[in-house]
Amino acid sequence: MDRMLVVVFNTEVQAYQGRQALLQLDSDGSISVYAYAVLAKHADGTATVKQGDDAGPIGTLLGTSFGSLIGLLGGPVGLAIGASAGVLAGAAVDLNNARIGDDFIDDVSKQLTPNKFAVVAEVEEDWTTPVDARMEAIGGTVFRRALSDAKHTIHDENVAAMKADMAQMKAERAKAHADRKAKLQEKINQLDSKIQSQLQKAKDRREAAERQAQAKVQVLKAKAAAAKAKAS
């Protein structure tokens, strides 16, 4: 199952130990790590990416679920993008793109207080024990959430509702007097503009999801090739 992981630590040293443990679990085949970053929360509420996955192709994608989660954890003041985190520059900070609930962000934010650190990762894991055991031994608090498609369902229902409203307005316009026709047409135009905007956003999200899926395939292929080369 594809999940977002956030592991909160009290010190930077622990966070880097957590990052190494996560990559070791990936190397062992216990999980698959698609993208990761070490995040530092500062006293003023801002956050800095101390180290990102510069090598993985998924890290270069803008508007991905991972990039959005990083941005959301940056807090209301914003995220300071460091030299090592150029892969995340411009990532869309959007809860819909993150494909996780706002309650998850709230839970993490309550633990990720100023002067703490976190390892943030997008992973595939079949069971939770390997990550939990390793991270708890280092002193980390693990938060995880499966990536959801619920936002797409809500979007489709919202567009369908707006289209139904517009159809009714068009039916009323056909029977209305001239002055009323103009007012209805104005509302129809406004609603149509909203629908087109929603459809474009949905298209952008689908394309980003397709790019992300392709990038994950490349990550897995690269790992398989590396394992084959090591075995030969």
The most confident of the ranges 115-119, 142-146, 147-151, 190-194 is 115-119
Q: 128 and 139, same structural domain?
A: yes
The Cα-based distances of 127 to 18, 94, 98, 123, 131 in angstroms read 18, 28, 22, 11, 9
pLDDT at 138: 96
pLDDT at 80: 39
| pTM given for the model | 0.63
Asked if the model's pLDDT at residue 88 lies above 50, the reply is: no
The DSSP bridge partners found for residue 40 are 48, 117
The most confident of the ranges 9-18, 97-106, 188-197 is 9-18
pLDDT at 52: 60
What average pLDDT is seen over the chain?
77
Domain endpoint, select from 132, 148, 164: 148
Q: 221 and 184, same structural domain?
A: yes
Domain endpoint, select from 131, 148, 165: 148
Q: 142 and 188, same structural domain?
A: no
pLDDT at 216: 73
pLDDT, average across residues 129-146? 91
Q: 144 and 66, same structural domain?
A: yes
The most confident of the ranges 96-100, 133-137, 160-164, 220-224 is 133-137
Asked if the model's pLDDT at residue 164 lies above 60, the reply is: yes
Q: 171 and 141, same structural domain?
A: no
Taking Cα atoms as reference points, which of 81, 35, 90, 86 lies closest to residue 57? 35
Asked if the model's pLDDT at residue 89 lies above 60, the reply is: no
Q: 205 and 186, same structural domain?
A: yes
Q: 207 and 186, same structural domain?
A: yes
Domain hosting residue 81, numbered range: 2-148
More confident residue, 91 or 230: 230
Q: 191 and 90, same structural domain?
A: no
More confident residue, 94 or 56: 94
Q: 227 and 176, same structural domain?
A: yes
Q: How confident is the model at residue 148 (pLDDT cuts 50, 70, 90)?
A: low
| Number of domains the chain is built from | 2
Long-range contacts of 100-103 (CB under 8 A, 24+ apart): 100/4, 100/65, 100/69, 100/145, 100/147, 100/148, 101/145, 101/148
Q: 76 and 49, same structural domain?
A: yes
pLDDT, average across residues 183-212? 81
Q: 157 and 135, same structural domain?
A: no
Please report, rounded to a whole number, the percentage of residues in the chain having pLDDT higher than 70: 77
Q: 93 and 167, same structural domain?
A: no
